[in-house]
């Protein structure tokens, strides 16, 4: 082999050499900044799936990659502070979830790659320009929560056939929740139902919101927001006391006592987010990676809650459920 060809071969090998190996040689680990919209406890199952997939791809926490975790706890102002902190740490990529946290990260840096593991409507909220061409330094996975709103309303009507009014609880400080509330109104109108909005901004607003509802609805749609996720137990308790069947996007909500959930399989989304991170740490640009959509949606029904509410879940619905909690 000629010397020039040999040098070229070495150069190509250096480019292809995994960043993990280069990091070990240099003594500096590649660093992921994880900006979680709620709390470590709430997101444990999802982050475990993310870390496990990283391991499968050769990124072992503490050995070939470092992960700096920051938890927003459903507070928008905290998202801004923690996103800026991760930028100061000069992490190699920021992984985040929930629209407020994604927007905070995007505002904090136009340079560091950002991967959102889930965002309800990334185009509608201005996170990306389009799914096919996200542009800039942001890409990730859409939760398609707004697109499946009508399906959730239909599921509620299957279990509560006499329903005339549905309440929708959302965080008015979350741009996605604002869109989601509009989608609930539209879906309810198409089905001949009235939608009653319960807007909150703080955990302290939840109890007064139920009080203001005053029995004017026959079911409750719980929006996809970190503040609501953190307060699952409180919302479920209040809904049960008000005799309100509920539905949400998240499986864990139904597991915590809600009646039903219908939405993406979030652990799977987080596994796929690890694939995005792997590509970026190996040199890919976020702008060149299209935003992906869920491939699996789960319907979960809590029969314990149905029994407590005196409801009979149709066998046809139970037959379609991916999980029945008994």
Question: Which tokens hold the place of 63?
Answer: 């050995």
Confidence of residue 16 (pLDDT cuts 50, 70, 90): very low
Condensed to tens digits (0 to 9), the pLDDT of residues 46-100 reads 999 999 999 999 999 999 999 999 999 988 889 999 999 999 999 999 999 999 9
Q: Over the stretch 280-324, which tens digit does the pLDDT of each residue have?
A: 999 999 999 999 999 999 999 999 999 999 999 999 999 999 999
pLDDT, tens only, 195-247: 999 999 999 999 999 999 989 999 999 998 999 999 999 999 999 999 999 99
pLDDT of residue 147: 76
Could you tell me which residues come within 8 angstroms of residue 248 by beta carbon, excluding any fewer than 6 positions away? 152, 221, 222, 223, 224, 228, 254, 258, 260, 261, 263
Give the model's confidence band at 120: pLDDT under 50 very low, under 70 low, under 90 confident, else very high: confident
Architecture label for domain 3-143+265-295: 3-Layer(aba) Sandwich (3.40)
- Domain residue ranges of the chain, discontinuous segments joined by +: 3-143+265-295, 146-264+298-325
* Confidence class for position 164, pLDDT limits 50, 70, 90: very high
Q: Which CATH number fits domain 146-264+298-325: 3.40.50.2300, 3.30.420.40, 1.10.490.130, 3.40.50.170?
A: 3.40.50.2300
- Same CATH topology for 3-143+265-295 and 146-264+298-325: the answer is yes
For residue 25, is pLDDT > 80?
no
């Amino acid at each position: 082999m000629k010397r020039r060809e040999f040098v070229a071969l070495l150069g190509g090998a250096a480019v292809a050499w995994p960043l993990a190996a280069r990091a070990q040689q240099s003594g500096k680990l590649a660093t992921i900044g994880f900006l979680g919209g709620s709390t470590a406890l709430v997101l444990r199952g999802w982050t475990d799936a993310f870390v496990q997939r990283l391991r499968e791809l050769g990124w072992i926490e503490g050995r070939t990659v470092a992960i700096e975790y920051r938890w927003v706890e459903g507070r928008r102002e905290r998202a801004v502070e923690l996103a800026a902190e991760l930028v100061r740490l000069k992490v190699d990529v920021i992984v985040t979830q929930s629209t407020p946290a994604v927007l905070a990260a995007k505002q904090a840096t136009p340079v560091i790659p950002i991967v959102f593991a889930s965002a309800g409507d990334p185009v509608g909220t201005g996170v990306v320009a389009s799914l096919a061409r996200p542009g800039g330094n942001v890409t990730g996975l859409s939760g398609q929560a707004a697109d499946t709103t009508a399906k959730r309303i239909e599921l509620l009507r299957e279990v509560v056939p006499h329903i005339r009014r549905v309440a929708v609880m959302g965080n008015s400080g979350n741009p996605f929740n604002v869109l989601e509330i509009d989608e609930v109104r539209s879906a309810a109108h198409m089905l001949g139902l009235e939608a009653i909005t319960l807007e909150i901004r703080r955990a302290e607003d939840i109890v007064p919101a139920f009080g203001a509802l005053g029995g004017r609805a026959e079911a409750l749609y719980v929006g996809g927001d970190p503040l609501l996720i953190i307060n699952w137990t409180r919302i479920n308790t209040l809904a049960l006391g008000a005799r309100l069947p509920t539905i949400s996007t998240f499986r864990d909500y139904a597991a915590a006592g809600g009646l039903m959930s219908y939405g993406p399989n979030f652990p799977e989304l987080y596994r796929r987010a690890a694939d995005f991170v792997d590509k970026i740490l190996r040199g890919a640009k976020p702008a060149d990676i299209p935003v992906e959509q869920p491939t699996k949606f789960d319907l979960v029904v809590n029969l314990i809650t149905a029994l407590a509410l005196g409801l009979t879940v149709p066998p046809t619905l139970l037959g379609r459920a991916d999980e029945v909690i008994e």
